[in-house]
Amino acid sequence: MKKNILFTLLILIQFSCSKEFTELSPISERNIQSAYKTATDFSVAVNGAYDALQLSGTYGKVYLLLNEMRSDNTFNGGGANGIAATLQEIDLFKEIATATELSSSWADSYKGIARCNIILDKIDASVVPDDLKKRYKGEALYIRSLFYYNLAIIFGNVPLQLTDVASPGDVNLKQYSANEVYAQIITDLTLAETLLPAKYTGVDVGRVTTGAVSTLLGKVYLTKGDKTNAIVALNKVVNSKNYTLVTDYAKLWGGANENGAESIFEIQFKTGGQGEGSGYFEYFASILGRSGGVGGGNTPMPMTPDLLASYEVGDLRYAKSIYKNNKLPDTTYSLKYITTQTTTFDGDNNWYVSRYADVLLMLAEALGEGTEAYTHINLVRARAGLPAISASTSGTFTEKILKERRSEFALENHRWQDLLRLGAATSTIAKHLSITESNVRKVFPIPQKEIDVSNGKLIQNTF
């Protein structure tokens, strides 16, 4: 499903009738007027939307760099020179608008959005059966929402393109604030909830469910500061009884444990030398000598000493997800993404976008300090072999939430978003990097190439 990469939103629009525009139509039929009619057409199109979640600029790599490495959990392990220079700048909050990682994230995100827009614009006029039509629309709405959530977190002020682009005049380059983007996401997810099933069987396992929609909806409400609606959305997931914590934290990881009882939504990868494998082994365990360092065009992301020191004594999550040789400290690496693979960057590891522990801890965050919130927190702590905590435990409620989420979701792309949402980003990162709080940027620059080709319609973020 993976095709050539679009480099700018404008190029995507201006060449919308090219091969790129029609790439999701059947190979035997490239005429856009006759494409997107049958269930087969839309099955290919929807799979193409899922495929965009694997792209290098999205969950394939760059979302990790712009979130996990941005936080105090990992650092750029590739040095500060050559092709690693921009990664060092990202890690140290000195990034420039011409960084390849920024343009890649922007372009691949909008590529996925464009694929979703084609589905949403054309499916009502198709001959797809009504039940599939509903499901495909719901999947496209969720996937588009997921891209826009990441764009809002990364860049803040972004264009909201909500329709298929048939000509350059159809593009909307107006920038919308993150809050306006979140409002659109809420509208889309609210509709998607009514269109999707709660479960799948057989080959459809791993597709978007109502649980995935409600979980993202809860996160967006929390990000907006709307705890009341976040509670409603997250309680839908809890009350569905469709998910549970796995008893052993180690059983969350590896190909044999994918799409399990705790899984709400995963980006699906498959080893086998067909270009559908993941590179997380190399990114997080490159100390093992895999071809994942700067020479391989990627950056290893070692765990910071601060992360390693943050685990409580007796926390089973440490032993079950981190290998540390006390005689050779540089052999410390994550066990979460170790995998058997056909070749390098071809892992069988899926990527968790959301799992049930996230729902429990977000629900606790939304509820605020109290018995019910600690009940949810302590379910997660019990699996980690840790004693229950309460309001009498030292620290503020926000500190306790952040600490629990850090240990539970280390290297899962939550930390930077958590720090932002809970108002702790500037103070935490300033302390971590020994810089002033004024130097901690909460959003990245808009890619300079997008500014340059927009004819003055895109405005650079200010810091």
Mean pLDDT, range 90-108, rounded to an integer: 92
Please report the pLDDT score of residue 26 as a whole number.
Answer: 31
Contacts 24+ apart (CB under 8 A), 152-155: 152/178, 152/181, 152/182, 152/185, 153/67, 153/178, 153/416, 153/417, 153/420, 154/63, 154/66, 154/67, 154/105, 154/443, 154/444, 155/106, 155/443, 155/444, 155/446, 155/461
Model confidence band, residue 419 (pLDDT cutoffs 50, 70, 90): very high
Model confidence band, residue 272 (pLDDT cutoffs 50, 70, 90): confident
- Across all residues in the chain, what is the average pLDDT? 88
Of residues 272 and 331, which shows the higher confidence score? Answer: 272
**Distance in angstroms (rounded) separating the CA atoms of residues 85 and 180:** 34
pTM above 0.85, yes or no: yes
Q: What angle do CA 274, 114, 208 make, to 5 degrees?
A: 65
Of residues 462 and 128, which shows the higher confidence score? Answer: 128
Q: Is the pLDDT of residue 175 over 80?
A: yes
Three-class SS state of 455 = coil
Q: How far is CA 4 from the centre of its chain?
A: 21
Lowest mean pLDDT among 6-10, 45-49, 195-199, 353-357: 6-10
Please report the pLDDT score of residue 145 as a whole number.
Answer: 98
Q: Are 249 and 294 in contact (CB under 8 A)?
A: no
In the chain, the percentage of residues whose pLDDT exceeds 90 is: 72
Amino acid at position 191, single letter? L
**Segment 215-230, tens digit of pLDDT:** 999 999 999 999 999 9
**For 1-181, CATH number?**
1.25.40.390
Rg (C-alpha) for the chain, rounded Å, is 21
Measure the CA dihedral 399/405/410/415, to 10°. Answer: -70
Three-class SS state of 77 = coil
Nearest to 454 by CA among 166, 111, 175: 175
Place of tokens 């999701």: 24
**Distance in angstroms (rounded) separating the CA atoms of residues 194 and 262:** 23
**Distance in angstroms (rounded) separating the CA atoms of residues 157 and 461:** 8
Q: Are 66 and 100 in contact (CB under 8 A)?
A: no
Model confidence band, residue 165 (pLDDT cutoffs 50, 70, 90): confident
Please report the pLDDT score of residue 332 as a whole number.
Answer: 81
User: Which pair of structure tokens corresponds to residue 438?
Assistant: 């004024």
Q: Are 422 and 402 in contact (CB under 8 A)?
A: yes
Residues 6+ apart with CB under 8 A from 333: 284, 285, 286, 287, 288, 302, 303, 322, 323
**Segment 47-95, tens digit of pLDDT:** 999 999 999 999 999 999 999 999 999 998 877 777 778 888 889 998 8
Residues 6+ apart with CB under 8 A from 357: 245, 262, 380, 408, 409
**Distance in angstroms (rounded) separating the CA atoms of residues 448 and 103:** 8
Q: Is the pLDDT of residue 3 over 60?
A: no
Mean pLDDT, range 115-122, rounded to an integer: 96
Residues 6+ apart with CB under 8 A from 387: 381
Please report the pLDDT score of residue 6 as a whole number.
Answer: 30
Please report the pLDDT score of residue 326 as a whole number.
Answer: 65
Please report the pLDDT score of residue 1 as a whole number.
Answer: 33
Nearest to 271 by CA among 262, 261, 263, 279: 279
Q: Are 132 and 39 in contact (CB under 8 A)?
A: yes
Instruction: Provide the 8-state DSSP code for 69.
Output: T
**Segment 339-348, tens digit of pLDDT:** 877 788 888 9
Measure the CA dihedral 211/214/217/219, to 10°. Answer: -70
**Distance in angstroms (rounded) separating the CA atoms of residues 11 and 450:** 10
**Distance in angstroms (rounded) separating the CA atoms of residues 459 and 446:** 8
The domain spans of the chain are: 1-181
If residue 154 lies in a helix (H) or strand (E), which one and from where to where?
helix 130-155
Q: Is the dihedral of CA 117, 355, 220, 93 positive or negative?
A: negative
Of residues 353 and 170, which shows the higher confidence score? Answer: 353
Model confidence band, residue 288 (pLDDT cutoffs 50, 70, 90): low
SS (H, E, C) 230-265: HHHHHHHHHHHCCCCCCCCHHHHCCHHHCCCCCEEE
Q: Is the pLDDT of residue 382 over 70?
A: yes
Please report the pLDDT score of residue 170 as a whole number.
Answer: 76
Q: Is the pLDDT of residue 428 over 50?
A: yes
Indicate the angle between helix axes 39-52 and 130-155, nearest 10 degrees.
20
Q: Is the pLDDT of residue 397 over 60?
A: yes
